[in-house]
Amino acid sequence: MLSDTIHLFEVPPRISTANDRRTGVRELRLRRSNPPRGATISYYLKEMQPDGVKVVITTATGDTVRTLTGPGFPGLRGSPGI
């Protein structure tokens, strides 16, 4: 990975917990999509990217859900709360 000019890390699936109001039991539920403000997208840049970076999030069919921009400074970067 360190030899790559740019590397986008895999975004892990989100796990959500919820309390059952009737029993008070806490349970884990997998969500089909990331909840708002819950995903972190991390990337590595070997060199300065003067125009910054652009990450396009799409559905499985290729429809754009969101476009994000980030700083183009070298090193490991993350955008929490996306």
8 Å CB contact between 73 and 48? yes
> Which pTM value belongs to this model?
0.60
Strand ranges inside the chain, DSSP E = 6-8, 15-19, 26-30, 41-45, 53-58, 64-70, 75-79
Q: What is the pLDDT of residue 77?
A: 85
8 Å CB contact between 47 and 5? yes
DSSP-H helix ranges across the chain:
none
Amino acid at 62: G
Domain parsing of the chain, residue ranges: 6-79
Quote the distance between the C-alpha of residue 64 and its chain's center. Answer: 15
- What's the pLDDT tens digit per position in 6-28? 888 888 766 655 555 666 555 55
- What's the pLDDT tens digit per position in 27-81? 555 555 545 555 778 889 999 999 999 988 899 999 998 888 888 999 988 765 4
What is the spatial distance between Cα 27 and Cα 15, in angstroms, rounded to a whole number? 10
